[in-house]
Amino acid sequence: MTDVVLASLLRPVAGLKLPDRWLDLTVPRVMGILNVTPDSFSDGGALAAAASRRFKISLDKALAAAESIVLAGADLIDVGGESTRPGAPPISVDEELERVIPVISAIRNYFDVPISVDTSSPAVITAAATAGASMINDVRALQIPGALEAVAATNLAVCLMHMQGQPQSMQDDPYYQDVVAEVCEFLFSRKVCSERAGINGDRICLDPGFGFGKTLSHNYQILARLHEMHALGSPLLVGISRKSMIGSVTGGAPADRLAGSLAAALLAAIAGAQIIRVHDVRHTVDALKVFLVARNAGQAGA
Ligand code: 7PJ
Q: Which residues pair with 131 in a beta bridge?
A: none
C-beta atoms surrounding 143 within 10 Å: 13
From 76, 139, 170, 187, mutation site for ligand 1 pocket: most ligand atoms within 8 A of C-beta: 139
- Is pLDDT of 13 > 80? yes
The per-residue pLDDT for range 24-50, each reduced to its tens digit, is 999 999 999 999 977 543 444 566 555
What is the identity of the amino acid at 17?
A: K
Average pLDDT of every residue of the chain: 92
The per-residue pLDDT for range 152-175, each reduced to its tens digit, is 999 999 999 999 998 888 888 999
The per-residue pLDDT for range 86-107, each reduced to its tens digit, is 777 788 999 999 999 999 999 9
Instruction: Give the mean pLDDT of 175-184.
Output: 97
Q: Which atom of ligand 1 is nearest to the CA of 239?
A: 15
Q: Which atom of ligand 1 is nearest to the CA of 83?
A: 16
* Ligand 1 centroid distance, CA of 8 (Å): 29
* Ligand 1 centroid distance, CA of 84 (Å): 8
> 136 near 128, Cβ under 8 Å?
yes
At residue 45, the pLDDT reads 58
210 lines ligand 1 (CB under 6 A): yes
**Whether the model pTM is above 0.85:** yes
Nearest Cα neighbor of 236 from 247, 228, 224 is 228
CA dihedral 127, 118, 152, 124 (to 10 degrees): -20
The per-residue pLDDT for range 266-277, each reduced to its tens digit, is 999 999 999 999
25 lines ligand 1 (CB under 6 A): no
Structural domains of the chain ordered from first start: 4-300 (3.20.20.20)
At residue 301, the pLDDT reads 75
> 125 near 136, Cβ under 8 Å?
yes
Residue nearest to atom 3 of ligand 1 (CA): 239
268 lines ligand 1 (CB under 6 A): no
Q: Which atom of ligand 1 is nearest to the CA of 80?
A: 9
207 lines ligand 1 (CB under 6 A): yes
Nearest Cα neighbor of 12 from 218, 187, 206, 160 is 206
Backbone angles phi, psi at 273, to 5 degrees: -60, 135
What is the identity of the amino acid at 97?
A: L
159 lines ligand 1 (CB under 6 A): yes
Q: Which residues are catalytic?
A: 243, 277
Q: Which atom of ligand 1 is nearest to the CA of 210?
A: 15
Alpha-carbon distance of 264 to 280, in angstroms, equals 13
> 167 near 138, Cβ under 8 Å?
no
Least-confidence region, from 12-16, 166-170, 179-183: 166-170
